[in-house]
Amino acid sequence: MTVAFIILALTVFFGVFVYRRPNFEKRLLKQIPIVDWINLLVLPTIVYLALATIVISILSRYKINILEVDDETLFSLLILAAMFAFIGNTVHFCGKVLSRYIPINKNDIIYQVNEVFHDKLSHYLSFMGVLVTIFLIGILEINHPSQVIMSSVQFSTMIIVGMISGGAATKAVLIWTHSQYRPISWLNFLLLCLQLFIFGSYDLTFRYYQYNVFLLSYMTTMAVMFSIRTIMIITRLHGKRRMRFIAKLVSLQ
């Protein structure tokens, strides 16, 4: 199971690394950049296999009824969230590819429609879908705690892997959404608070929950990086521009 976490972290990191390499953008396959094929087919497949391995490992543990929700319901919601994430990724693939060949003309209806798919719609579906998916896996694990407490090495490994994954994921959000990351950051913060609330309310110990340690590190890293980004933007703005940004921040625009 630890190997699956490491593969997951490396995949997310590799996805950001490849996206920033001009060579992958210039090389075409069927008139489509190699990097877009990688983001559409290769990376989601690896992430899916890693998460499936983790879920199978969690479900193989003895079940204790801590939360009053059955595995079937959680698994159904998990699949639904993952489906929306992949739909968002596919929509982004189509919109990004078409944007290479559609002339930039903001008055052109074709350009305007394609930007709807290439911009917020696909970004929010993808990133929010992923966030909800990985959060639901954490909820699934609560009723399947490990029978053996994690060692300090395992605990530290999960923290580090979560930080790498969360850092790379945050970088991806900031690259693809630019200044439109606020709804994603608020959702991440809400899910982080909900995780801590559940563990606090039921007096649970993280050392029995390997995945939830990873999830906690992942979402905490994202929350810290989003906060730093927001503070940096606010400090660079002045007067009315600063007030407008704060108003958008609160309104989730």
For residue 120, give its domain range.
2-251
* pLDDT < 50 positions in the chain: none
Left (φ > 0), alpha (ψ -120 to 50) or beta: where does 134 sit? alpha
pLDDT at residue 250 in the model: 67
Distance separating alpha carbons of residues 31 and 245, to the nearest angstrom: 39
Distance separating alpha carbons of residues 58 and 1, to the nearest angstrom: 9
pLDDT at residue 111 in the model: 83
Cβ 113 vs Cβ 105: under 8 Å: no
pLDDT tens string 101-112: 888 877 788 888
Q: How many domains does the chain have?
A: 1
Distance separating alpha carbons of residues 34 and 18, to the nearest angstrom: 10
pLDDT at residue 20 in the model: 66
Count CB atoms within 10 A of the CB of residue 133: 22
Q: Which residue has the tokens 């002339």?
A: 103
pLDDT at residue 98 in the model: 84
List, in order, residues 6 or more apart from 222 with CB less than 8 Å away: 166, 169, 170, 173, 185, 188
Question: Tokens at residue 127, please?
Answer: 């990133």
pLDDT at residue 15 in the model: 81
* CA-wise closest residue to 74 among 165, 8, 122, 144: 144
List, in order, residues 6 or more apart from 76 with CB less than 8 Å away: none
pTM of the model: 0.90
Cβ 44 vs Cβ 86: under 8 Å: yes
pLDDT at residue 80 in the model: 96
Please work out, in degrees rounded to the nearest 5, the angle formed at the alpha carbon of residue 78 by the alpha carbons of 89 and 221. 70
pLDDT at residue 223 in the model: 96
pLDDT tens string 68-119: 999 999 999 999 999 999 999 998 888 888 888 888 877 788 888 888 887 7
Cβ 121 vs Cβ 88: under 8 Å: yes
pLDDT at residue 201 in the model: 95
